[in-house]
Chains A and B, each alone.
Chain A
Amino acid sequence: MRKQKDRCIVADAAGDEESFTAASIKLRRQKDIYEDFCKAADSYTQYERTYVAGYDRRLAGKTGAVTRKQREFEKAQIVMDSDIGDKLRRAAKSAAIQAKVVSYDELDDNVKTSFEHGLKNAHPEVKRAINAIKDKTDYAYSPKERSFYDPSLNYVSLRKDAPSGTMAHELFHKIDHMNKITDSPEHGISKALHNDWENLLNKSNGDIVGYLVDSHPEAFTFNRSGKIVFKENYRGISDIISGLSGDGINLGYHHKAEYWSQSGALEREAWAQFGRVYFDNDPDVVKMMKSIFTNFDNNAIMALKGVK
């Protein structure tokens, strides 16, 4: 440190600003190292031992100003690098999918307003998990008649007019992918779903639709063809039942059997539907979810609590 102070004195006297800056930065770094060392060793700093005649308050102030500027520059560089990284990544994804990939902030105001409004009413754990990833997620508006999460390019393809619960559903697919929730036996999602299904089969004596209609009549309505179907706010539950029955039971919102035959499809979709249900947070739907999928509901809530 004394050596760098000497260099500061010489450079200042010679009017060599470049050398003064270099010596000032080295001096600041050495001070940082010295302070860290003293802290780690639980001892006090002894700056009197770094005293150099001629390195007065004016020069100390000048050194301080130089290092402050340097730190601000480094900070700006980090922000800029990260910003450029995000822009480059989105540009690359845009080129790959032939559609503009944007940040959450760049989504249309009406999309964000509707989503934020929904988020206010969401289950606290859903709110927390979604708030942790929504700004780190890349989005594209889907030109297709569906929304989806693409795990290979890690972006959410969203229809502008999709209900906000759909965006939550797709973000839950991302949460699953990033945290390996449904893949991992530790969370017991698959086992819980199958236990619930067994229980439902036992309680209903095999007549699941009749049992559900009797026990939760408020959840059902008739469609135009006169068939009994779930009301729209129960679509997540309807889809999980479609999955558990291999699409043997279609109560208005389903995926086809071929989809459910894919390994892990039931667990992934049930998890994303769980996200939708607790994002919408309709008390009647949540009550039914807890009632018929007790084990899955418990395990999914526990898994969600573990999501950072």
Chain B
Amino acid sequence: MWKGRFDEELRLLFDEYEKKFGCDPDTYEEIAYYAMSYDELAEYIKECLEKGVEIDEVVN
């Protein structure tokens, strides 16, 4: 679960992700969201939306 800053930009990215993949991007149990910065999370989501793959496949 993402616990950092959550602004309008991130909310829009979350909404787009949810529409595409059916869940919020910060609900994958195995991913350490606490280890990411705001920019990293936003970039990961953008990459998912561009490539059409879920976040567990783009996160290291």
Contact = CB atoms under 8 A, between A and B. Distances in A.
Categorize the interface residue count of chain A: 20 to 34
Interface string B12-30: 0011001000011001111
Given A147-B32, A161-B35, A225-B18, A253 B60 contact: no
A239 interface: yes
B54 A148 contact: no
A250 interface: yes
Contacts of A144: 59-60
A302 B35 CA distance: 36
Q: Which of B1, B33, B54, B59 has the most chain A CB atoms inside 10 A of its CB?
A: B1
Given A146-B59, A159-B35, A224-B6, A255 B28 contact: yes
Given A235-B29, A256-B54, A223 B24 contact: yes
Interface in A86-141: none
Contacts of B56: 256
Contacts of A147: 32
Contacts, number: 58
Nearest to B35: A145
Given A143-B60, A223-B24, A161 B30 contact: no
A54 to B, nearest CB: 76
A254 B27 contact: yes
Tell me the dominant secondary structure on chain A's binding face: loop
Given A224-B11, A232-B1, A239-B29, A254 B23 contact: yes
B1 A250 contact: no
A227 interface: yes
A78 interface: no
A275 interface: no
A40 to B, nearest CB: 56
Interface string A16-29: 00000000000000
B47 to A, nearest CB: 13
Contacts of B54: 256
A229 to B, nearest CB: 8
Contacts of B32: 145-147, 159, 161-162
Categorize the interface residue count of chain B: 20 to 34
23 contacts: A143-B60, A144-B59, A145-B31, A145-B32, A145-B35, A145-B36, A146-B31, A146-B59, A146-B60, A159-B35, A161-B32, A161-B35, A224-B6, A224-B14, A225-B11, A225-B18, A225-B24, A227-B24, A229-B27, A238-B29, A253-B1, A253-B27, A254-B28
B27 A252 contact: yes
Contacts of A143: 60
A250 B14 contact: no
B2 to A, nearest CB: 8
Given A147-B32, A224-B6, A225-B11, 16 more contacts: A145-B32, A145-B60, A146-B30, A146-B31, A146-B60, A159-B32, A159-B35, A223-B1, A224-B14, A225-B18, A232-B1, A238-B29, A239-B29, A252-B1, A253-B27, A256-B28
